[in-house]
Amino acid sequence: MQHTKVSFGSLWRGAMASITPSYDREGEHIGWKVSVRKKGFPSQYQTFRTRKEAEAWAVIIESEMTRGVWRDRSESESTTLKECIERYLSEVTPHKKNQHPEELKLQQWLRRPISKRFMASIRGKDVADVIKDMESEGKSKNTIRLHLAVLSHLFKVAKTEWGMEAISNPCEAVRKPRLPQGRDRRLVDNEETRLLDACRDENPDILYIVRIAIETAMRRSEICGLQWENVNLARRVAMLPDTKNGTVRRVPLSSDALEVLSALPRRIDGLVWDVNADTVTRAFKRCCKRAGIEDLRFHDLRHEATSRLFEKGLNPMQVAAITGHKTLQMLKRYTHLKAEDLAKLLG
């Protein structure tokens, strides 16, 4: 079979693109090979299924070279998202403070068809299609946003550190799922008494952990990781050296919190409790079910404790120092004051 080569001059001086048909081993025409050459730039090559796609790509490359905005696409056009995810897991994730959740999200991206696409070919529409898939799988809006955040950072790293300057971040071109209003679940009526009774029946540790959560506004992970060397009963302070925000926090201990900690025995390993966060969550769910309490999560106790601090008359800066919130806007999401208590302050 005769192979024909078609060249066409660029609209801009000094650049030339050539397009040649591509054949398989049996001589069947399978596409078009494009090469673009311009003095001062490395030659660019690409293969397309149709002649129209080949010509469009050549025009774009020539235009960018002539205007001085061209960026080398070879790396992004020959590297798949799968390869980038594997590299990210090897080079970036290990340096993150909380690696496991990110690893799980990236593993899910690896299992999706989009991971087989070359980085340069992934568009906002492709990511939008994955968002629809996640919604059909029953993922929450916040979970989807977290998946997108991981992918977005991967594209940022690929663009700034892995030689893929020409790619655009497809996550920036899609509409993120809108988050629902923040939860405002508070303990009402006699729920606290019923909850504590159920925790007492479950085991002493979960009872003490729930009481500490209500009194200190500490997160589940902070409570489970608490060590005796960081608890000063005399000064009524618990130091948290490893918090979600990455800063050291000193939490004042109320009389009830002090009573709980004073009654606990000292462990040889230095931990206040021998229990992990997932165990606390499962036990808490059982206690709520036993107490007949619906739609209450362990993290809601942080909401409850934060609101109680305001109800005691502390100002926002004082509350933020206890809870560890970085901004007043973040603090507002966790603060839901009872109208009847505010009415008492009004006189």
The tokens of 325 are what? 């919130």
Residue for token pair 């293969």: 47
Burial of 110 (0-12, 13-18, 19+ CB in 10 A): middle
Backbone angles phi, psi at 4, to 5 degrees: -105, 145
* Distance separating alpha carbons of residues 192 and 189, to the nearest angstrom: 8
Other CB atoms within a 10 A radius of the CB of residue 79 amount to: 19
Identify the CA nearest to 84 among candidates 122, 115, 130, 111.
115
* Distance separating alpha carbons of residues 281 and 288, to the nearest angstrom: 11
* Distance separating alpha carbons of residues 217 and 207, to the nearest angstrom: 15
Backbone angles phi, psi at 221, to 5 degrees: -65, -35
- Say if residues 266 and 228 touch (Cβ distance below 8 Å): yes
Identify the CA nearest to 24 among candidates 51, 43, 45, 3.
3
Catalytic machinery residues: 219, 244, 299, 302, 325, 334
**With the CA atoms of 190, 194, 200 and 206 taken in that order, what torsion angle do they form, in degrees rounded to the nearest 10?**
-80
* Distance separating alpha carbons of residues 242 and 259, to the nearest angstrom: 24
